[in-house]
Structure 1
Amino acid sequence: MTVLKALKKMFGKSEVEQLVPGPSAPAHSPSRAEVQKKPQRTTPVANTEKDAATAPVAPTPEQPRNEAPKPRRERAPKPPVVAWKLEDFVVEPQEGKTRFHDFKLAPELMHAIQDLGFPYCTPIQAQVLGFTLAGKDAIGRAQTGTGKTAAFLISIITQLLQTPPPKERYMGEPRALIIAPTRELVVQIAKDAADLTKYTGLNVMTFVGGMDFDKQLKHLEARHCDILVATPGRLLDFNQRGDVHLDMVEVMVLDEADRMLDMGFIPQVRQIIRQTPPKSERQTLLFSATFTEDVMNLAKQWTTDPSIVEIEALNVASENVEQHIYAVAGADKYKLLYNLVNDNGWERVMVFANRKDEVRRIEERLVRDGVNAAQLSGDVPQHKRIKTLEGFREGKIRVLVATDVAGRGIHIDGISHVINFTLPEVPDDYVHRIGRTGRAGAEGVSISFAGEDDSYQLPSIEALLGKKISCETPPTHLLRPVERKRP
Structure 2
Amino acid sequence: MTVLKALKKMFGKSEAEQLVPGSSAPAHSPSRTEVQKKPQRTPPVANTEKDAATAPVAPPPEQTRNDAPKPRRERAPKPPAVAWKLEDFVVEPQEGKTRFHDFKLAPELMHAIQDLGFPYCTPIQAQVLGFTLAGKDAIGRAQTGTGKTAAFLISIITQLLQTPPPKERYMGEPRALIIAPTRELVVQIAKDAADLTKYTGLNVMTFVGGMDFDKQLKHLEARHCDILVATPGRLLDFNQRGDVHLDMVEVMVLDEADRMLDMGFIPQVRQIIRQTPPKSERQTLLFSATFTEDVMNLAKQWTTDPSIVEIEALNVASENVEQHIYAVAGADKYKLLYNLVNDNGWERVMVFANRKDEVRRIEERLVRDGVNAAQLSGDVPQHKRIKTLEGFREGKIRVLVATDVAGRGIHIDGISHVINFTLPEVPDDYVHRIGRTGRAGAEGVSISFAGEDDSYQLPSIEALLGKKISCETPPTHLLRPVERKRP
Mean Cα deviation higher: 405-414 or 244-253: 405-414
Query: Does 3-12 or 131-140 show the bigger shift?
Result: 3-12
Query: Residues 101 and 457 (structure 1 numbering): CA distance in 2 closer, same or farther, change over 3 Å?
Result: same
Deviation string, structure 1 residues 49-95 (Cα, Å, up to 9, x no partner): 99999999999999999999999864321111111111111111111
Q: Kindly state the Cα deviation for residue 22 of structure 1 after the two structures are TM-superposed.
A: 32
Helix, strand or coil: the match of 2:447? strand
Q: Secondary structure in 1 aligned to 2:66?
A: coil
Asked if structure 1 preserves the Cα contact closer than 8 Å seen for 2:324 and 2:447, the reply is: yes
Please, what TM-score do these two structures have when normalized by structure 1?
0.86
Counterparts in 2 of 1:464 and 1:247: CA distance versus 1, 3 Å = same
Cα distance, 1:407 vs. partner?
3.3
C-alpha deviation, 1:10, in angstroms: 15
CA distance in 1, matches of 2:436, 2:2: 98
Deviation at 1:409, TM superposition (A): 1.3
Q: Distance in 2 between matches of 1:164 and 1:42?
A: 21
Q: Matches of 1:50 and 1:475 in 2, distance apart?
A: 77
Q: Distance in 1 between matches of 2:430 and 2:409?
A: 14
Shift of the 129–34 alpha-carbon distance from structure 1 to 2, 3 Å rule, reads: closer
1-structure distance, mates of 2:169, 2:4: 71
User: Structure 1 90/476 Cα, relative in aligned 2: closer, same or farther at 3 Å?
Assistant: same
CA contact (8 A) 2:45 2:170 kept: no
- C-alpha distance after superposition, 1:17-61 (max 9, x if no partner): 999999999999999999999999999999999999999999999
* 90-99 vs 132-141, which moves further: 90-99
Q: Is the 8 A contact 1:109 1:199 kept in 2?
A: yes
* 1:97 shift after superposition: 1.1
Assess, with a 3 A threshold, how the Cα gap between structure 1 residues 54 and 239 changes in structure 2: closer, same or farther. Answer: closer
**Structure 1 pair 368/118, CA: closer, same or farther in 2 (3 Å)?**
same
> Which whole-Å CA distance do the structure 2 matches of 1:105 and 1:49 have between them?
28
Q: Output aligned runs, 1:105-120, within 5 Å.
A: 105-120=105-120
Deviations 1:179-212 (A, max 9, x none): 0000000001001111111111110000000111
- Note closer, same or farther for the CA distance 1:6–1:280 as it changes in structure 2 (3 Å cut): closer
The question of 1:3 aligning with 2:3 is answered: yes
Task: Give the superposition deviation at 1:412.
Answer: 1.0
2:123, 2:243 → 1: CA distance?
39
For residue 346 of structure 1, report the CA deviation from its aligned partner: 1.0
Moved more, 160-169 or 12-21: 12-21
**Cα 1:452–1:156, aligned 2, differ >3 Å: closer, same or farther?**
same
Q: Determine if contact 1:375/1:401 at 8 Å carries over to the other structure.
A: yes
Moved over 4 A (4+): 1-74
CA distance in 1, matches of 2:203, 2:238: 18
The answer to whether the 8 A contact 1:156-1:251 is kept is yes
CA contact 1:190–1:205 (8 Å) conserved in 2: yes
Shift of 1:431: 0.8
Q: Cα distance, 1:475 vs. partner? A: 0.6
* Pairing of 1:240-259 with structure 2 (within 5 A): 240-259=240-259
Of 150-159 and 21-30, the range deviating more from structure 2: 21-30
Corresponding residue number in structure 1 for 2:217: 217
Conserved 8 A contact 2:125-2:148: yes
Distance 1:299 1:54 in 2: 50
- CA–CA distance in 2 between the matches of 1:109 and 1:296? 32
Q: Judging changes above 3 Å, is the alpha-carbon distance between structure 1 residues 211 and 20 closer, same or farther for their aligned structure 2 residues?
A: closer
Secondary structure at the aligned position of 1:205 is classed as strand
Shift of residue 362 of structure 1?
A: 0.6
Match of 1:260, SS state, is helix
Q: Is the 8 A contact 2:44 2:170 kept in 1?
A: no
Task: Select between 157-166 and 46-55 the one with higher mean Cα deviation.
Answer: 46-55
Q: Residue 89 of structure 2 aligns with which residue?
A: 89
- Aligned-residue sequence identity (percent) comes to 98
Report the Cα offset of residue 396 of structure 1.
Answer: 1.2
Distance between the aligned counterparts of 1:42 and 1:461, measured in 2? Answer: 53
- Bigger drift between 19-28 and 167-176 goes to 19-28
How far off its partner does 1:9 sit? 11
Distance 2:384 2:107 in 1: 37
Query: How far apart are the structure 2 equivalents of 1:45 and 1:157?
Result: 22
Sort the Cα spacing of 1:393 and 1:134 in 2 relative to 1 into closer, same or farther, 3 A. Answer: same
Q: 1:29 to 1:40 in 2, by over 3 A?
A: farther
3-state secondary structure, aligned to 2:46: coil
Question: What is the alpha-carbon distance in structure 1 between the residues aligned to residue 207 and residue 443 of structure 2?
Answer: 35
TM-aligned CA deviation for residue 312 of structure 1: 1.1
Residues 1:353 and 1:65: Cα distance change in structure 2 (over 3 Å): closer
TM-aligned CA deviation for residue 324 of structure 1: 0.6
How far does residue 405 in structure 1 lie from its aligned partner after superposition? 2.0
Judged with a 3 Å threshold, the aligned counterparts in structure 2 of structure 1 residues 48 and 250 are, in CA distance, closer, same or farther, namely: closer
Residues 46, 52 of structure 1: 8 Å contact kept: no
SS at match of 2:299: helix
Q: Per-residue CA shift, 1:326-377, capped at 9, x if unaligned?
A: 0000010011111111111111111100000000111111111111111000
**Residues 10 and 189 (structure 1), Cα distance of their counterparts in 2 relative to 1, 3 Å cut:** closer
Further displaced range: 79-88 or 421-430: 79-88
* RMSD over equivalenced CA pairs, Å: 11.9
User: SS state of the match for residue 322, structure 1?
Assistant: strand
> Separation in 1 of the partners of 2:141 and 2:337?
34
Q: Tell me how far 1:136 sits from its aligned partner.
A: 0.6
* Alpha-carbon contact 1:368-1:486 (below 8 Å) kept: no
Report the alpha carbon displacement of residue 7 of structure 1 after superposing the two structures with TM: 16
For 1:55 and 1:161, how far apart are their aligned partners in 2? 29
Highest Rg: 1 or 2?
A: 1
Query: What is the CA-CA distance between 1:439 and the residue it aligns to?
Result: 1.1
Q: Contact between 2:353 and 2:402, CA under 8 Å: does it hold in 1?
A: yes
Where does residue 424 of structure 1 map in the other structure?
424
8 Å contact kept, 2:42–2:221: no
Alpha carbons of structure 1 residues 77 and 482: separation in structure 2 relative to 1, 3 Å: same
Contact 1:180 1:255 survives alignment (8 Å): yes
Equivalenced residue count is: 487
**Change in 2 beyond 3 A, CA 1:476/1:248:** same
- Name structure 2 gaps, 5 residues minimum: none
Once residues 42 and 262 of structure 1 are traced to their aligned partners in structure 2, the CA distance between those partners, rounded to angstroms, is 38
Moved more, 400-409 or 442-451: 400-409
2-side partners of 1:195 and 1:103: how far apart?
Answer: 19
Distance 1:479 1:108, change over 3 A: same
Decide whether the 8 Å contact of 1:59 with 1:65 is kept in 2: no
Query: Which segment is superposed worse, 397-406 or 29-38?
Result: 29-38
- Distance in 1 between residues matched to 2:44 and 2:275, nearest whole Å: 72
Of 253-262 and 100-109, more deviation after overlay is shown by 100-109
Would you say the 8 A contact 2:44–2:168 is kept in 1? no
